[in-house]
């Protein structure tokens, strides 16, 4: 800790082009109306998530899969940029779970048969993967998944949809489909145990937290951009409300928090890619800052919109609720702050168990 880690390089032109492509794709395939439509699908729907096929065709779903399975073989800094865009679009569906967590976990532990059976289909968008790690009580988009990668007592299991029983657990974010999953672990479903499983589970958790952090930055950016646009045109007391210092300062503070959060995400993405010793600290820093930035952006956005943003018919709540739920998922700011505290202040501790 005494010597700060080397700085990650700035995004390359290729990386920025990747992000721009993802942004264009998502704004075409996942406009707000698609997000809103996802709220109205029945909770148990097994249909493909919105825009999933288009994202798969463009290589987004499989971007983390090895190239021999038709994947992009991208590393964390690349896919984190795409996750930010998914957050900005409030994309429904398990892109985080399938792409950032499950595909690399299967690729690392799945063995040839399982990888052959699932990874190509996942990259092509035919197979949706869901994830349930130990600390998380619910599995997102379990009803849509074809295969679930589940933790049980430190072991990693892969279980097909037909072998699990789901209890839908409606979330305040109607585009987020949670379920409690009941299933029977067995030798046949077990992919790994012991230290090998532990290392992969820890890495998978950090990838999930990183992806959530990246999405939260995107969610926060959208919230502030939409609110700035509104504050420029909405007038009260004969002035655009964005000319009032109180409104300016709310939005400026939210912007500063986002601007400070993103470099933490970027740094964490390199720590995840490099698998360095500081991965846990870097990821927790990123998730804590991104969670706080998104919650702050949601507060500022609603406050500056006023009553007009407090309506279900206005799109603002689609992003606000995503901010609330993603900020709590994969460890909230308090949990990650406590993990950092344990790692830097208690030299004998490895930090608390995963959220």
Partner 1 sequence: MSEARAATGDAATDDAAFRAEARAWLRAHVPRHLPPMGSPEGFAAHVAWERALFDAGWAVPAWPARYGGRDATIAQWLIFEEEYYAAGGPPHVTQNGVSLLAPALFELGTDEQKDRLLRPMAAAEVLWAQGWSEPGAGSDLAAVRSTATRVDGGWRLHGQKTWSTRASFCHAMHGLFRTDPDAPRHKGLTYFLVPLDAPGVRVSGFRRLDGDLDFAEVFLDDVFVPDRDVVGAVGGGWKVAMATTGSERGMILRSPGRFLAAAQRLVELYRRARATASPLDRAAVARAWMDAQAYQHYTWQQAGKLAAGQSVAAESSVAKLAWSELDVAICDAALGVLGPRAELVEGAPDAVDDGAWIKAYQFALAGPIYAGTNEIQLNVVAERLLGLPRE
Binding site for a copy of itself (CB under 8 A): 244-246, 249
**Binder of residue 92, out of a copy of itself, partner 1, none (CB less than 5 to 8 A by kind):** none
Residues contacting residue 150 through CB under 8 Å, at least 6 positions apart:
131, 132, 139, 156, 157, 158, 159, 181, 183, 185
**Binder of residue 231, out of partner 1, a copy of itself, none (CB less than 5 to 8 A by kind):** partner 1
**Minimum distance between the CB of residue 82 and partner 1, rounded to whole angstroms?**
18
Nearer to a copy of itself, 17 or 246 (CB): 246
Nearer to a copy of itself, 247 or 320 (CB): 247
Residues contacting residue 19 through CB under 8 Å, at least 6 positions apart:
11, 81, 82, 84, 85
For the purposes of burial, counting CB atoms within 10 Å of the CB of 336, is it exposed (0-12), middle (13-18) or buried (19 or more)? buried
145: left (phi over 0), alpha (psi -120 to 50) or beta: beta
**Binder of residue 136, out of partner 1, a copy of itself, none (CB less than 5 to 8 A by kind):** partner 1
Q: What is the CA radius of gyration of the chain?
A: 20
**Minimum distance between the CB of residue 175 and partner 1, rounded to whole angstroms?**
12
Dihedral sign (CA 243, 247, 253, 257): negative
Nearer to partner 1, 55 or 136 (CB): 136
CA distance 162 to 3: 51
- The half-sphere exposure of 60 on its side-chain side, counting CA atoms within 13 A, is 29
**Binder of residue 7, out of partner 1, a copy of itself, none (CB less than 5 to 8 A by kind):** partner 1
**Minimum distance between the CB of residue 172 and a copy of itself, rounded to whole angstroms?**
26
**Minimum distance between the CB of residue 236 and partner 1, rounded to whole angstroms?**
4
**Minimum distance between the CB of residue 265 and partner 1, rounded to whole angstroms?**
9
For the purposes of burial, counting CB atoms within 10 Å of the CB of 175, is it exposed (0-12), middle (13-18) or buried (19 or more)? buried
**Minimum distance between the CB of residue 283 and partner 1, rounded to whole angstroms?**
12
CA distance 331 to 48: 27
**Minimum distance between the CB of residue 66 and partner 1, rounded to whole angstroms?**
25
Nearer to a copy of itself, 183 or 244 (CB): 244
Tokens of 93: 């569906």
Q: Is residue 293 within 8 Å of residue 216, measured between CB atoms? A: yes
Nearer to a copy of itself, 35 or 247 (CB): 247
**Binder of residue 124, out of a copy of itself, partner 1, none (CB less than 5 to 8 A by kind):** none
**Binder of residue 169, out of a copy of itself, partner 1, none (CB less than 5 to 8 A by kind):** partner 1
Nearer to partner 1, 40 or 112 (CB): 40
CA distance 143 to 141: 5
Nearer to partner 1, 188 or 256 (CB): 256
300-314: burial string, b at 16+ Cβ within 10 Å, e else: bbbebbeeebeeeee
**Binder of residue 337, out of a copy of itself, partner 1, none (CB less than 5 to 8 A by kind):** partner 1
């Amino acid at each position: 800790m005494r010597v700060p880690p080397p700085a990650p390089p700035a995004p390359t032109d290729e990386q920025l082009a990747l992000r721009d492509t993802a942004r264009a794709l998502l704004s075409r395939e996942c406009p707000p109306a698609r997000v809103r439509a996802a709220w109205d699908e029945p909770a148990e729907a097994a249909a493909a998530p919105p825009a999933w096929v288009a994202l798969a065709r463009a290589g987004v779903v499989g971007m983390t899969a090895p190239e021999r399975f038709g994947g992009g073989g991208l590393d964390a800094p690349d896919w984190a940029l795409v996750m930010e865009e998914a957050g900005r679009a409030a994309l429904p569906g398990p892109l985080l779970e399938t792409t950032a967590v499950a595909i690399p976990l299967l690729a690392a532990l799945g063995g040839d048969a399982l990888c052959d059976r699932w990874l190509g289909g996942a990259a092509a968008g035919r197979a949706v993967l869901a994830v349930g790690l130990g600390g998380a009580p619910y599995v997102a988009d379990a009803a849509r998944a074809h295969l679930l990668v589940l933790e049980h007592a430190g072991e990693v299991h892969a279980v097909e949809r037909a072998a699990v029983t789901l209890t839908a657990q409606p979330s305040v974010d109607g585009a987020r489909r949670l379920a409690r999953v009941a299933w029977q672990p067995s030798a046949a479903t077990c992919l790994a145990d012991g230290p090998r499983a532990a290392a992969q589970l820890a890495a998978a958790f950090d990838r999930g937290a990183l992806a959530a952090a990246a999405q939260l930055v995107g969610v926060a950016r959208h919230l502030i951009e939409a609110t700035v646009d509104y504050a420029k045109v909405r007038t009260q007391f004969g002035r655009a409300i964005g000319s009032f210092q109180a409104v300016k300062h709310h939005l400026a503070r939210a912007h500063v928090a986002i601007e400070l959060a993103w470099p933490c995400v970027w740094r964490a993405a390199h720590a995840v890619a490099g698998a360095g010793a500081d991965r846990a600290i870097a990821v927790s820093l990123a998730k804590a800052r991104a969670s706080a930035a998104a919650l702050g952006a949601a507060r500022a956005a609603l406050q500056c919109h006023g009553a007009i943003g407090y309506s279900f018919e206005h799109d603002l709540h689609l992003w606000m609720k995503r901010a609330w739920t993603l900020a709590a998922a994969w460890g909230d700011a308090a949990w990650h702050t406590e993990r950092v505290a344990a790692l830097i202040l208690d030299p004998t501790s490895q930090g608390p168990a995963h959220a």
